[in-house]
Structure formats: structure tokens, C-alpha cells
């Protein structure tokens, strides 16, 4: 049986259960106040009705903290946060990115997952950024100077421009 036949790759509820098991091995933790006591599961809650979904969409994995009284899901604080893409599609994308020997393009994700190219690009960038190791180095290295020559912003005196913007810039980076 293929790994991609597992339920968390095809069912939204199973995807939430799998992510909760991975991130909250000792039970749910409120991302707002770090409370672990008395966190309630809210079942059957739906989003607001819309033209596309007149009854609203079921909010899987919704929890409520008894201490701060805020609602949250396991997506909060992860790369999946603030995304309208279903969690099971995220799992499929992560699997494809990690298991491809030579990598996978956003176009290939778009075709394979049957999502828009923009959504595939967004997912690929978020997942690659999450997999990156180390901190970003400052531009130009540690205290080095970055130079850009023969570029201008605006128009030169006495030269007619066709609306092209040219830039002159000298950038310096400061050590953090």
C-alpha cells in the first residue's frame, strides 16, 4: 500500500487528527496563553454561510481555551496558519516536496494537487522556508558593502526618457 493512500492525505478530519498527534503529543496547548488545562473541543461548528457554501464549512479541530476564552486550531503558529488551502492538500504537498529526488516545481504541484498555480507557489515557498536551516545572512555579509553601479532613478537632465526608470543605488549592510 502506498504512503499516499493513508487517510490524512485525503480526509480533512484525519489530517487534523494527525497534525494534533504530531504537535500536541501531551494534549492541546493554547497558542495564546500556553494553557494546557481544560481545553474544550468544539464539534459541529461551521463558518459563516456564503454563496459557494450556503450552510458554511465545518471547522475541523476547533478548540477553545478555558483560561483566555479564545478559539484556536492546531494550524495556529505553523506554516499552515492563515491559509484557505485544506490541510490534507498541505500534507500532500509536503510529502511531494520531501520525497522528490530532484525537487518539484510549483507548476507540478499545481497539476498534481489540482489547485491554482498561485496556491501551489504559495505552498511551495512556505514549505521550503520552513525546511530551510540557519538564519538569513545580512546582505553583503557581515558588515560588507553591497554596490550597484550605473543605475539611475528618475530622469537624467537633457536626456529624453521613454518612461523607463533607472536607479542609482549604493547599499550598505550593517551587522546585526
What backbone torsions phi and psi does residue 54 show, to the nearest 5 degrees? -60, -25
Task: Specify the higher pLDDT residue, 169 or 131.
Answer: 131
Contact between residue 33 and residue 39 where contact means Cβ atoms under 8 Å apart: no
Query: Which grid coordinates belong to 106?
Result: 510549483
Per-chain mean pLDDT for the chain: 85
- 84-139 pLDDT per residue, tens: 999 999 999 999 999 998 989 999 999 999 999 999 999 999 999 998 887 766 65
What pLDDT sits at residue 157? Answer: 75
For the chain, give every domain's residue range: 135-176
85: DSSP letter:
S
The radius of gyration of the chain from alpha carbons, rounded to an integer in Å, stands at 23
What pLDDT sits at residue 173? Answer: 40
- 32-69 pLDDT per residue, tens: 999 999 999 999 999 999 999 999 999 999 999 999 99
- DSSP per position, 18-81: HHHHHH-TTS---TTT---SSEEE--S-B----SS-TT--B-TT-EEETTT--EE-TTTTSTTT
Max Cα–Cα distance, the chain, nearest Å: 73
172: DSSP letter:
E
The pTM of this model reads 0.72
143: DSSP letter:
S
Contact between residue 119 and residue 90 where contact means Cβ atoms under 8 Å apart: no
Amino acid at each position: 500500500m502506498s504512503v499516499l493512500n493513508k487517510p490524512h492525505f485525503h480526509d480533512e478530519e484525519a489530517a487534523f487528527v494527525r497534525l494534533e498527534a504530531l504537535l500536541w503529543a501531551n494534549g492541546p496547548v493554547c497558542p495564546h496563553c500556553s494553557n494546557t488545562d481544560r481545553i474544550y473541543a468544539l464539534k459541529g461548528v461551521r463558518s459563516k454561510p456564503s454563496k459557494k457554501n450556503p450552510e458554511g464549512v465545518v471547522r475541523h479541530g476547533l478548540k477553545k481555551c478555558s483560561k483566555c476564552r479564545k478559539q484556536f486550531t492546531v494550524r495556529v503558529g505553523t506554516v499552515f496558519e492563515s491559509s484557505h488551502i485544506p490541510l490534507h492538500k498541505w500534507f500532500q504537498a509536503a510529502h511531494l516536496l520531501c520525497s522528490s529526488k530532484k525537487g518539484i516545481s510549483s507548476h507540478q504541484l499545481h497539476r498534481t494537487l489540482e489547485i491554482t498555480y498561485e496556491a501551489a507557489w504559495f505552498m511551495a515557498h512556505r514549505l521550503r522556508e520552513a525546511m530551510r536551516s540557519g538564519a538569513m545572512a545580512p546582505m553583503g555579509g557581515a558588515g560588507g558593502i553591497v554596490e550597484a553601479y550605473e543605475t539611475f532613478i528618475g530622469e537624467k537632465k537633457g536626456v529624453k526618457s521613454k518612461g523607463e526608470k533607472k536607479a542609482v543605488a549604493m547599499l550598505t549592510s550593517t551587522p546585526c
